[in-house]
Amino acid sequence: MSINRLPERISNSTVRNKRLQRDIRPARHNVGFLLHYADRAFTRALAEELKSHDSAISRWSVLRVLSEEEGISQVELADRMVVEKANLTAVLEAMVAEGLLVRPRDTRDKRKSKLFLTARARELKKELVPVVKSVNAEATRGMDDLAIRQFCELLMQLIANLESDSPLAARAIAQNIDLKK
């Protein structure tokens, strides 16, 4: 290489594309591997975008679920988010401390608390919706609405096949959950 010639700059997307070709090629028909790889890639992209808004995926998930159904317990929230209740405790405590959630005791069962978003949390959700939509748009770039709908239906079928006895899978299928949210 001559002294006057600078080395070619390689972008992150070029590196990612080369890594993708190298890592996925032998497993391109392995559903489990591809789902796991896609989940990791999507999670990484979403986490990066949410981080730039001083937020995290766990916080976004709480905001999304509670904005649709407030007044549920921590156990119910964990079920809807498909996480363990214990893993949710620290997230909820932090959100209460930040003034995003309130947890009044259930009037019928004093052992339980109900979860409600504050006005500040509703504003944060409004701020984060475009961020999440942009990551979803990037993830589905090059796919038309029919392809996205078919892909979501295939994923729901896969979930139903693997969790046929799961109330979560049954509810998701019955409600035809919009996975683009």
Model confidence pLDDT, tens digit, residues 70-101: 999 999 999 998 888 888 999 999 999 999 99
- Rounded to whole angstroms, how far apart are CA atoms 44 and 157? 25
CB count within 10 Å of CB 59 equals 22
Question: DSSP letter at 106?
Answer: P
Question: DSSP letter at 115?
Answer: B
Does residue 22 surpass a pLDDT of 60?
no
CA-based nearest residue to 95, from 44, 48, 59 = 59
What is the predicted pLDDT for the residue at 5? 42
Is residue 101 within 8 Å of 117, Cβ to Cβ?
yes
What is the predicted pLDDT for the residue at 2? 42
Place 20 in a pLDDT band, splitting at 50, 70 and 90: low
Cα end-to-end span (Å), the chain? 50
Residue 113's DSSP bridge partners are: 105
pTM equals 0.71
- Could you give the angle at which helices 85-97 and 74-81 cross, rounded to 10 degrees? 110
Residue 30, sorted as left (phi over 0), alpha (psi -120 to 50) or beta, turns out to be beta
What is the predicted pLDDT for the residue at 125? 95
The residue-averaged pLDDT of 116-136 equals 96
The residue-averaged pLDDT of 124-139 equals 96
CB count within 10 Å of CB 30 equals 12
The residue-averaged pLDDT of 118-143 equals 96
